[in-house]
A and B are shown apart, each in its own frame.
Chain A
Amino acid sequence: MDDLHPYMFWLIAPLTGLCAIATVITQNIVRSATWLLFTLAGTSSIFFLLGADLVGAIQLLVYVGGTMVLVIFGVMLTAQGPFITMKTSGAEWAISIVAGIMLFAVLGFGATHYVRSSAERAKETVPENPKDSRNSTTIGQGLLGVPVGPSDPKMPSQTIHYLLPFEIVSVHLLVVLIGAAYLARTKRRKEEEAAP
């Protein structure tokens, strides 16, 4: 597997990148959504490739399964003839692409710079077998409050757990969903009131 890793990466990553580019370029919103689906799938396979099985799985479930459904629904609810393809002017495209290339260059430079600068420092700290500490059990324990992860050698008593963020995210998600439902319903009720 380790041997295959670079190959797999070089197989999946360009596909994912191309799909992302296609998402941007496509003028048809339906196709754009479809290319996004592929991009998300590609990303999840990247996660798998990085050994993050749980994240990859959740990516597939939540994103590809849930979020994409929402997006598709949105497209379907609003996609009337003229809105499926709404063209942007050439000038905007040019500006956006130039800005995008610059952004990419900056990010790429930053990444390269980081990788180079931290290469010597982080040589020894690269984990030999990451799989041990990266399974679903560890993550689930971390979310439920069990200290996980490597303890800081300088501060051995300090351990990290993620119960509180987990709870906050849960509540946040609940609020978001209620809010979404409320927002989605408000107008309709008004229309009903206005109808009679």
Chain B
Amino acid sequence: MNELDPLLGYLCLAALLFTCGVVCMATKRNAIGVLIGVELVLNGANVNFVAFSRYHPNFQVEGMIFALFVIVMAAGEAATALAIVLNFYNNHSTVDVDSADELKG
């Protein structure tokens, strides 16, 4: 049990990060805030990957490689998202995501 306790801690931390990211996305009206939430979620996932690469024999390399992929993707995502935000800002003169309600039913 001693050996496994750390994994549970990491998993809980990852869950906390993930949850925080989701809540952040749900509560922030600022587009950048939403982006921040996404980063938090991705970080939570990364913590999971790395934790399993440490504590699960099958994922020793894969966990880290996937974490790396995630980081890279996050960077690209951040760039794209920022570009979108800037465009959004140009169009709406605001970064309030609530004003982007064109999808409203």
Contact = CB atoms under 8 A, between A and B. Distances in A.
Task: Decide if A and B touch, CB cutoff 8 A.
Answer: yes
A118 B4 CA distance: 10
A86 B30 contact: yes
Contacts, number: 259
A195 interface: no
A16 B5 CA distance: 18
Nearest to A46: B47
B16 A20 contact: yes
Interface residues on A, range: 35 or more
Nearest first, the 5 closest Cβ-Cβ pairs linking A and B are A176-B76, A107-B15, A111-B11, A183-B83, A100-B23
B13 A139 contact: no
Interface of B: 1, 3-24, 26-33, 35-37, 39-40, 43, 46-47, 50-51, 53-58, 60-65, 67-69, 71-80, 82-87, 89-91, 94-96
B94 A83 contact: yes
B76 A73 contact: no
A78 B83 CA distance: 12
B64 A40 contact: no
Given A63-B74, A74-B82, A127 B27 contact: no
B71 A58 contact: yes
11 contacts: A32-B28, A32-B36, A52-B64, A74-B85, A78-B86, A87-B29, A100-B22, A111-B15, A115-B8, A180-B79, A188-B90
A8 to B, nearest CB: 10
B99 to A, nearest CB: 10
Most chain A CB atoms below 10 A, which of B3, B33, B51, B77: B33
Contacts of B26: 92, 95-96, 99-100
Given A20-B20, A74-B86, A130 B30 contact: no
Contact of A173 (B27, B33, B54, B72): B72
